[in-house]
Structure 1
């Protein structure tokens, strides 16, 4: 059996710990139920040590305390199903990074704070922000019909397109069908049939054509990646520029996001950690049964506007915080269009962290709970899972990436890790 060397890359030092066979067996996720993971993280959240409860820790932690806490969370996380993970936490006292495991299991290159992975749907906030910025600059309107900017050969095959606006596509109120839900895994089968060549927005939209919508535009909420794919096409056609160039000019460069790259536009977006999927349950699934499958080529060659970037955990945290605290070029009008009260739609069937009321703006989920507001958006696809969180009352931003995804043995521990980090800063907020 493969027993990894856990590598922790922190702000202050690099620590390598050899895990013995006995210790590896203890943390081997195949021998653990997810309930054990949850108990493990709940113990960490409560600060228990040798059965003695510790005092709750407030946001004003010393850097070393926070660093030790994050390292402690990661020590048991890496497994056969979770090759590597990288976390960045920014508090009013500074930024703290920790990483564990491997970015690539063949080369044994380690996951570091600079490691990048495809961000999946967490990248939607970039497209939402770009649209809000372009609206503010009067280069387009969020509320004008998108029909004139959709290719003629597609326009007549998307029902109600003449009534759809860019805002509706971005806040999931357009009713356009999800391309992943068409047929019997038709989209991923088409991906696997040609892993080598780059696929863009038109590739995904072919599965939407002639499909019945969920509802008429503006009459409901249904999370649909297709809306962002179509929005990306509309923005490119209206401004006659590639989405990658627009994102660099209006978002990435002004915000100083130097560890974020656009898929299909930047060669650096292909230079990412390998992603791994382990199909343990379905012998007839399209991906190999009981084999670790490297999804890197599959994902980097699918360059869609619903999952447009590869980025580090640090840049994920910086981006979300910049939107909420209005770092230039984000101004009050852009902020209101993205997450203001009048721009939010009640969200259904989406994940929450605080059991609060969940709303969706332009690429950002807004969770209103009894102690404040939590902003977040994650991504999850074959081989990669990401999460970005901003705790408004505590002024804490969190970015998290792991090179696994779309299976319970990866997703549930990573979600528990995110919840533990959130609880670290919210547990004593009432004091």
Structure 2
């Protein structure tokens, strides 16, 4: 199968955004290089890719390949996909904002807002806090690691039905913790799932409503929608997984599988939204650069040194020391600080990075994921983009 790899690119200077459908040829050698990299990335395993880059001298968007292989709809700069774990920074920011508004507290016990039928089946809730859930220091077991692919099997069995946080949290019940809260670091999606339940129970509002009111609308993230809450969150590119290696795996062997229905119908707080590459870049930059409504206190709670956890076994791009805040990875390297957090699930992969010293924000999305033939080239492209922009402070 030969994939369409036509390149659609836009160069956006200052506040001058290209109108829908208006194409401008890339004006710099760097942009021509990025165009080539995107076109070269498209393959049987990577149907489509879109990137958005915000630099001090301008903004640039480009895309290649297909958003849907059946209809041949092209990937564009407006294409949205589920963000996977890259959406964790939205939950971290929401909680930091709610803490700043004194609507909840990051460091109070979550026990009063855990459903009674679950409270007795998760250890250490009386001393567990929202901050620990969000910076992966709570010790709560990862729901994906329970049993023999138990979660994905349950997902597939009900893929046409909407599934929320309680669906995933049930796999955590009665499981021994990794450690006592505050005594270690272990990346766990379950912490965000539990945090989503706690937030809704304490404030008596849907998570989607809270995200819109306190984060999406204040930041002007008009291309980001909450799964299971916004109808527009279902209007995303198809996602593709091609199982080439495991005949006994739960997804079909040697058959391209469209994961769109599976993923959009699983609405969990660890992967809460679908958005464009542009909104992903805008969100991370807003957090780090303290754009309203992010103030100094919110910024400090999210990525301040006093609250960072030393992160183990998580991806890094510039061979720096890696730390984890509230949904944001902080990589301190020779040339400065890189902030990032990607997402990876069946059929979708996302990357968002912010080079603080260069004031460069990058969002990247592709409609494949959870297999080496997709993940490795996409991560390599992200590393290349980091290198391109980390050498200087200007475009």
Tell me which interval the TM-score lies in, with the shorter structure as reference length: over 0.9
Gaps of 5+ in 2: 12-21
1:110 alignment partner, one of 74, 95, 113: 74
Q: Which of the two has higher C-alpha Rg?
A: 1
**Alignment partner of 2:293: what SS?**
coil
**How do residues 24-63 of structure 1 correspond to structure 2 at under 5 angstroms?**
63=27
| Correspondence for 1:197 | 161
| Correspondence for 1:130 | 94
**Alignment partner of 2:301: what SS?**
helix
**How do residues 375-414 of structure 1 correspond to structure 2 at under 5 angstroms?**
375-414=339-378
Task: Give, in whole Å, the separation in 2 of the partners of 1:318 and 1:65.
Answer: 24
Q: 1:85 to 1:15 in 2, by over 3 A?
A: farther
2:219 alignment partner, one of 223, 232, 255: 255
Structure 1 length-normalised TM: 0.87
Structure 2 residue 192 is matched with structure 1 residue 228: yes
Q: Is the 8 A contact 2:358 2:392 kept in 1?
A: no
Structure 2 residue 155 is matched with structure 1 residue 156: no
Deviations 1:136-184 (A, max 9, x none): 0000000000000000000000011111000000000000000000000
Q: What is the CA-CA distance between 1:363 and the residue it aligns to?
A: 0.2
Q: What is the CA-CA distance between 1:94 and the residue it aligns to?
A: 1.4
| Correspondence for 1:320 | 284
For this pair of structures, how many residues does the alignment match?
384
| Correspondence for 2:228 | 264
Q: What is the CA-CA distance between 1:67 and the residue it aligns to?
A: 2.5
Structure 2 residue 2 is matched with structure 1 residue 3: yes
| Correspondence for 1:217 | 181
Task: Give, in whole Å, the separation in 1 of the partners of 2:99 and 2:24.
Answer: 47
Structure 2 length-normalised TM: 0.95
Task: Give, in whole Å, the separation in 1 of the partners of 2:231 and 2:244.
Answer: 33
| Correspondence for 1:58 | none
Q: Is the 8 A contact 1:67 1:98 kept in 2?
A: no
Q: Is the 8 A contact 2:131 2:326 kept in 1?
A: yes
| Correspondence for 1:245 | 209
Q: Is the 8 A contact 1:147 1:161 kept in 2?
A: yes
Q: What is the CA-CA distance between 1:63 and the residue it aligns to?
A: 4.8
Large movers: runs of 4+ above 6 Å? none
| Correspondence for 2:110 | 146
| Correspondence for 2:305 | 341
Q: What is the CA-CA distance between 1:70 and the residue it aligns to?
A: 1.4
Task: Give, in whole Å, the separation in 2 of the partners of 1:315 and 1:233.
Answer: 25
Gaps of 5+ in 1: 17-61
| CA RMSD across the alignment | 1.4
Q: What is the CA-CA distance between 1:6 and the residue it aligns to?
A: 1.5
Q: What is the CA-CA distance between 1:65 and the residue it aligns to?
A: 3.1
| Correspondence for 1:56 | none
| Correspondence for 2:324 | 360
